[in-house]
Structures are given as C-alpha cells and as structure tokens.
Structure 1
C-alpha cells in the first residue's frame, strides 16, 4: 500500500516568538535553529481574545479546526464533550494510525486507530491501550499533588517505575532524576528552590515513553505535548526581565528563578534534537505552540496577582457543607472540579460555595454545568494577616482553609504562535504573513493528501508536497 511520510507534531505550549528569536540570536537553541532552518516557518494567530484566549481553547482549535464560537469549550478537561472530528479521527477513518501523547483537551469522535495518552487534567478520556494507565495515573497524581502540597502513594510510584522500565526509560533520564533530587537538597540548604525543574524531568520521562511507542508502532501521525515552559513563563517572566515589572522579585526569588524561563527553552531544545534524531530525515516534523505569552503587567498597580487553593480539597468541601461529592480534583492554578451524583446535589453545592466570603467579598467563583462544578478562589491579591472565611455555620481563619500558590503571575497569553513545518527535501521559507490558527488542522490532513473534515472551515496552507514512500502491504 502507498503510505505517507510519518508526521510528528511537537506541541510546545505557549512558546513566545519574541523569546524564541532572542534565544536563537544568542546561540542558545541550536536544535530549534536546525528545525526552523529546514522548515516552512509561520506565525499563527488565534481568533479569540480574553477571556477566551486560553490554551485549552486554542489547542482544541489546532486539533479540530474549529474556533471557540464553534466548539464552545472554555474550560480545561472538557474537550471530550466536542463530538467534531479531530485530525486523528479523520486519519483513523482513512486507515492511518496515530500516537497522541499528552495533547491538551483531547477527545475522540471515532474509534482511534493507535494510542492516546490524555493530558493530566482530562480524567474523562481513558488512556488507550490500557497499559498507559500506569503512566497517566502517576503523572496526574504528581501534577495535582505537587500543586496542592500533597505526596504520592508508594504503590503508584512503584507501578509507574515498573511501567517506565518496560517503556523506554533511558539511563540519561534516570541520571537526570537523581541529579534533580540532589540539586533540590543542596538548594534547600541555601534556602533556595530548585523543585520547579521537576517539570523538565517529567518532559524527559514523557519523551522516553513517546520514543518507545513511536519506534515500536511506527504510527503515521503523532503528537508530543509539553507545558513546562509555559508554566515557567506564567510565573517567572518577572525573574527573566525584572526591569519591566513594578513589583520586583526578592533576592531569594532571583537566586532561585532568574534562569527558569531560559532553562525551559534550553531543555525543550534538547527534546527537539532527540526527536529529530530518532524520527530521522524521512519524517515531516511540525512545531506548533497554539498561542504564546507576553509579560503580564496589568496587575502591577494592584501589587501583582497571586492565587490561592484549598489546603485539602475534600476537607475544604466538608467544612463548607458541600455534600454528595463523587469526585473532586484540581484543574489548573486555583481552579478545581467537583462531580456530584445529580444536578440537585450540584446546585446545593453551588449555593454553599457561593455563600463563602472573606473581608466582605465572595470567596469563590463557581460555575455549574450539569452535575459538575468548576470552582476557584476569587481572591488574587495578598490576603492580610487575620483574614477569615465566613459561611453558613462557618467562621475560621483564611489560612486554615487555603494556601497561597508559589509565585506571582508574570506572563499572560498572546494570540500569536509558532508553526514550523519541516517537509523533507523541500526548500525552507519564512512566511511573513500571519495565518489563522484554524488552518493548522486542515494543513496537517493535507500532508496525507486528505481533505478537511466538514467542520474545518479554514483553508489548508500551501506547502511543498512531501514525497510518498512504499511499504509492503
């Protein structure tokens, strides 16, 4: 049968075109340069603006070709509710196999030919094949537990280690984990923080898994998602360029985080090099960021923006009098999702949380969708000493229920994104005009000679056509 060249999409969330150019110019990103200098290089532009400029909105656009006004999803973990076909659904319908590794707000509209590892905030999407559950369960617990100060069960960690041992865990990654733990201890002795670098270790673990399944199954289409550098930009752009912010980081914060953003780009540069090496010269390699970031200066006159989260989610809900909870899990930053058995229970939970207050203002922002609540703390400025939380039958110190997440918001979203497409054997070109983000999905299908799905409104980009290769039937 005739088969297209494999397509590998690196989904590096929210990398900034401006920072990319800066670090490329400084010679810090040789593998990114290698990819860009062999690619059709575009800048994409998302249609949406605040409050709909969010990665879980725009990644759904990348995968489905639908903008927010069409898909209607505004929250993380809700992508599975969209029944329109994604790129991998269309490919499955035509007999192509995919390996979807961590793509944000993913879902399935057709039986998938291949494998899918959901992002850690999408518990409603099951990993396929089921062997991937060991990885998904561990990473989800680590991401959510790290954010709330919790630990991980030893049994889950052992299951994860056994899984990775059989799915590509490399000696360099093991050495990197050990070095990270040592660095954290040494930093702690000096009163500094090095734990933020764990996000890069997780990237490397996921790349080991991605490589293992890619080499084993040789899928026609694959995606690899990373959020680490986006996180660094959100919380540490202030440390990268303190001169741009009114609220200056402390000396201790600078000692810990001054190099965080640059470190993220450099670690992603290594990932790019590894992917280019194991995919070889025959693969079409795509870098897509969906959107980007810029310095967040809009809260500086207010002293900066901070976030708070319940210390222990179940205990917090119990203290607030929220009953009938089936499941509760953190989402992103201050937000968390609660699932109930029925809509009456969810409505009562909404009333209880909405009644909470601190300092004469509402404590929570809560939205109900059917039997679920999406909630988060509405306080985004430093809470004064002695602040209390009041509610129905409740009057307790603020710090007894909630804690402040580390850092202060420093990066905010920007609609521009990077799109580099390396087509083997074709001359590279930098395209000066911006292109609409909803054209990415049709373009990816065009690499296989397939027309867009009916719900994909954007026109595919005009690219040099990759050659085709012959494989045995």
Structure 2
C-alpha cells in the first residue's frame, strides 16, 4: 500500500478538537473520530524540545542522545539512516517535500526537495526551479523582507505549480497579507508546497512520500493568544494583531482543506498525520528579535568570521577559518550585553563554527543602549527586526492520526517507533545499514 505522511509541525490537536466541538475543521475532526488520536513521546528536557531534533528522531528512530543532531542544519551525509533511504533499499520508491533537518541520500528518489535551512541535493526538475525562491522567501519572512527578484521567482513558481482549484486561496492569502495579516504569507507558502506535493505524487506515484508544513508552528508561536479556544489570560496588544483575528483558526482551516484535498486526490493511499511535538500557550511576555544584516552587524562589532548563514528566526551560524578565529568570535559575541550585564546572545562553539541565538527577550526601543566589552553602543534597534511576541512553547508530546488504524486502536508510543510503523505500513522492514 502507498503511504503519505503529512508532517504538520507542532500542531496542537487538542486545540483542533476544541475547534471541532464548535463545528469547525470537519475533515480533521472526521479523521480523529474514525481513526483515533495516537500520542507520541520524545525528550523531556525543555532545551531538547525543538522540531529540528524531534523530526530527526521521527525520520531515524533514534533519540537525541543516539542521533546527536541538536541544531537545524546539522544533518549531513554522515548522519544516521533515515526512513527514505531505508525504504528505497527495499524497493519502495520514495519522495519528500521540505522534510525538516533531513538530507537527500536517495539514489533514485521519485522527488526530493530539502527544507529551506538544509543544504542537500534536489531531485526533480520542477523542484530544482522552485527551491531557491521558496528558501529565500522563508528566510526573509521574519522581517517581512522579500526582495522583488524573490517575489518574481516565487510568482513564477506559483503559476506553474498551483492547482487551479486553489487559485482563490492564493488570491485570498495575498489580499489578506496586503491588509496587514502577515501570517497569510506563511500560509501561502504551505499552500504552494501542498499543491507541489499533490502534483509530484500524481506524476511519480511513490510508495512512500512525506510533506512537511511549518506555517502552523510559526503562527502558533506568534498568535496563540488570539485563538478563540485559548483559555489563558494573556492577550496580544492591538498594535501587534487585531483582536478580532484568529490566525490559528486560519492555518488550521488551511490544513483541514489540504488534508481533504489529498484524501480526494489519493483515496486509496494510507494517510498519516504527525506533529513531532506540539505547542502549549506560553506563560509570560517574551519578544523575539532577528538581526537584519548578519554580516554587517558582525563586522561592525569586530567579530572575526569567514561567512555567516541565517537560520530560523533569531538563530544564525558563524563559520570561521579555524578554531582560534572561532574562539575570538565567541569572546567578542559574548562581550555584547545589556547595560545590566545580561548577554544579548548565546553562543555554542563547535570548533570552527558558532551557533548563535539572539536571546534578548525584552523590548528594544530606539534609545536602547548596550555594551560591547568596555564600549557603550546605541543603534541596536536599527540593526534588528521585530519577529514576534512568543505565544506558544514546546511540549514533547506529539500526535499521530493514521487512516490504517481504527479509533479504538489509538495508543501512546515513543516517537522513535514512528519509522518502524511507517515501514510496516509500506510492507517493508525497519533496518538500518550496517555501520
């Protein structure tokens, strides 16, 4: 049997059920009613609850302690076997669209497009053309800066890949984004990836294919307090988002439509929906910031480096010529603090590179002053972009809906067991290559 895995990153299915109780999200509600809601478990320490960790576990069957992939973009050719190559070795044709922190090691994939943050080969002419503007749009979305050339290439990709039945959705996304509902840009990208996935599966008919969608995670992190089914006492300010908006319902409704579309397109396929982990409401006011021009900021701060690569939201990687330069860069970055001595960045030194997070979580007004060693510096507000007010935080419990199960068979199991579950559904074995 052919199996399709939809990776709905960090979606809270208990919130889905609350919306369903209000008569909304009929497709997702129907799947849960007929097939049950399994729960998956993963790491327990909060600092180890990150999607780029849990999705590696979901793809390899290994815990963080076993696979050792702690940062987004760390996966490479030396990383453990993933579900795609394990199935391919047993004769199952495979495909993937944007799997998080995964590398394409397939010899003859039906199609494979990596996520926007991971360097890996692309399989498929259509995907080779589409990947650059999608990656540029995702990495520019944090501060709403999508260049005209990226927009043009993205429009070209949309015109050649969008399914006609969804044209109205794209128009609605653009119109809403123009009116200030910026979360619709992330929804447009997920809508496009879903249309590409349907086209690729129809064309190549793989035995197993996965689709990763991230707009829901992004929107929950930013707007969970605006959800009509949020039961806490915190609220987002009106300048941040209109009080009558429910971005969470917007993206859940998109996913409801996407799942319905895929069910209609491939009625004989076994469908699995997995979340990896999920988000709960955050309990305090936390603001996220992102550097606008990473290289320019590092140069002005006197941080030595060879090159710098942005990652998600506030994260970036500083590559150095050698360990000595990395040590000097770490010391310089670590010397950047608030007037009270609180670090603005955290730095993970990997030898010849640094994984850096801009962790300052309070406001940065125009007159904000900070310290760089013995220097007093102003102008940080112009160097950063406001990303979001944190609304959602990670919970290691994830969810699985599997159309191959009956509602009464819903169970809880470790996320490490998901690849074996997928392999069995494909008529294959879960076995890694000998080391």
> Normalized against structure 1, the TM-score is what?
0.84
Q: 1:161 to 1:270 in 2, by over 3 A?
A: same
8 Å contact kept, 1:164–1:209: no
What is the match of residue 396 of structure 1?
Answer: 377
8 Å contact kept, 1:42–1:430: no
Q: What's the CA shift string for 1:135-193, capped at 9, x where partnerless?
A: 22111111111213433242x44444444444x322344443333333344x3xxxxx3
Q: Secondary structure at the match of 1:76?
A: coil
Q: Secondary structure at the match of 2:203?
A: helix
Counterparts of 1:112 and 1:368, CA distance in 2: 37
CA RMSD of aligned residues (A): 2.5
Counterparts of 1:253 and 1:110, CA distance in 2: 44
Counterparts of 1:182 and 1:47, CA distance in 2: 40
What is the match of residue 143 of structure 1?
Answer: 138
Q: 1:420 offset after TM fit, Å?
A: 1.3
8 Å contact kept, 1:83–1:108: no
8 Å contact kept, 2:288–2:386: yes
What is the match of residue 318 of structure 1?
Answer: 299
8 Å contact kept, 2:207–2:426: no
Residue 391 of structure 2: which of 388, 391, 410 is its match? Answer: 410
Q: 1:444 offset after TM fit, Å?
A: 0.5
Please state if 1:290 is matched with 2:276.
Answer: yes
8 Å contact kept, 2:279–2:395: yes
Q: 1:373 to 1:12 in 2, by over 3 A?
A: same
Q: 1:296 offset after TM fit, Å?
A: 1.1
Counterparts of 1:250 and 1:163, CA distance in 2: 36
Counterparts of 2:407 and 2:62, CA distance in 1: 27
What is the match of residue 239 of structure 1?
Answer: 226
Aligned 1:3-402 pairs, distance under 5 A: 5-39=1-35, 41-80=37-76, 83-109=79-105, 111-122=107-118, 124-129=119-124, 131-154=126-149, 156-166=150-160, 168-185=161-178, 187=179, 193-240=180-227, 245=232, 247-253=234-240, 255=242, 258-280=245-267, 282-297=268-283, 300=284, 304-326=285-307, 328-359=308-339, 360-383=341-364, 386-391=367-372, 395-402=376-383
Counterparts of 2:367 and 2:156, CA distance in 1: 47
> Normalized against structure 2, the TM-score is what?
0.91
What is the match of residue 463 of structure 1?
Answer: none
Please state if 1:435 is matched with 2:413.
Answer: yes
What is the match of residue 471 of structure 1?
Answer: none
8 Å contact kept, 1:320–1:394: no
Q: 1:393 to 1:134 in 2, by over 3 A?
A: farther
8 Å contact kept, 1:355–1:391: yes
8 Å contact kept, 1:89–1:112: no
Q: 1:314 offset after TM fit, Å?
A: 1.7
Counterparts of 2:243 and 2:164, CA distance in 1: 27
8 Å contact kept, 2:370–2:377: yes
Counterparts of 1:53 and 1:226, CA distance in 2: 18
Counterparts of 2:408 and 2:244, CA distance in 1: 33
Counterparts of 1:242 and 1:37, CA distance in 2: 20
Q: What's the CA shift string for 1:405-462, capped at 9, x where partnerless?
A: 2431111111222111112xxx722345421111111111111232222489xxxxxx
Deviates more, 1:174-183 or 1:26-35: 174-183
Q: 1:311 offset after TM fit, Å?
A: 2.5
Q: 1:69 to 1:285 in 2, by over 3 A?
A: same
Q: What's the CA shift string for 1:292-321, capped at 9, x where partnerless?
A: 111111xx2xxx111222222121111111
8 Å contact kept, 2:291–2:383: yes
Q: What's the CA shift string for 1:341-390, capped at 9, x where partnerless?
A: 43333333222212222212322111122332211223112246632233
Q: 1:108 offset after TM fit, Å?
A: 3.9
Q: 1:149 to 1:47 in 2, by over 3 A?
A: closer
| Residue ranges of structure 2 left out of the alignment (5+ in a row) | none
Q: Secondary structure at the match of 1:405?
A: strand
8 Å contact kept, 1:95–1:113: no
Deviates more, 1:14-23 or 1:334-343: 334-343
Q: Secondary structure at the match of 1:51?
A: helix
| Residue ranges of structure 1 left out of the alignment (5+ in a row) | 188-192, 457-473
Query: Size of the alignment, in residue pairs?
Result: 433
8 Å contact kept, 1:306–1:404: no
- The structure having more radius of gyration, on CA atoms, is 1
